[in-house]
Amino acid sequence: MTDKTFVYDLWLARDASAWIERDGKEIIAIERGGHLHRFAPVWGHPGRPVVSGDDAVWTEYREGVGCAAFADSGSESARLIKPLIGANVGDLALSAGHLVAECAGTLRLLTRARNGWAAQGTIWDESPAYHPCLVSDLASWDTYIGGRYRVVVMPLGGEPAVLPCPDDH
């Protein structure tokens, strides 16, 4: 990094942090336990890095289309998340070996596999989903149903529940 490096999309966790550096080129920076690793983008312009445990994921955009990439702890290079290639990825949520990816308004669940990520299927496609969040095995996201913004919660492997609004009767 130099005094002309621009840093954006900062992610902070208890034991790790991640950000994007721009100084003529874009680099994904992941810091864990005092060790800093930098990765070149795999596919496009990087954004929204997320770190949980040994996993780091982020989005990459090219010509308005999103893809997702990841790097293992200690790896030298990043790779695309194969089940999400061509899915137009937006927001990502990561926790305990689970990944929720917003793909053109739907939510897909993936689990960590030995050599990458394995698709577990679509967990929400009833209405557009935004801002997924994942803590341990509980997912939540925003949606728009019946002219109102709503929050949906779902234990992984369970059924989604749309939380009531104060003016619901």
How far apart (Å, rounded) are the C-alpha atoms in residues 132 and 102?
Answer: 7
Coil, strand or helix at 164: coil
pLDDT in tens, 58-113: 999 999 999 999 998 878 899 999 999 999 999 999 999 999 999 999 999 999 99
pTM > 0.85: yes or no: yes
How far apart (Å, rounded) are the C-alpha atoms in residues 110 and 13?
Answer: 21
Q: Output 23-28 pairs: Cβ under 8 A, ≥24 positions apart.
A: 28/56, 28/58, 28/69, 28/71, 28/78
Name which of 132, 20, 89 is nearest 80 in CA terms: 89
pLDDT in tens, 17-74: 999 999 889 999 999 988 999 999 999 999 999 999 899 999 999 999 999 999 988 7
Map tokens 């890095």 to a residue: 49
Instruction: Enumerate helices (H) and strands (E) in the chain, giving the number of each.
Output: 0, 16
Coil, strand or helix at 82: helix
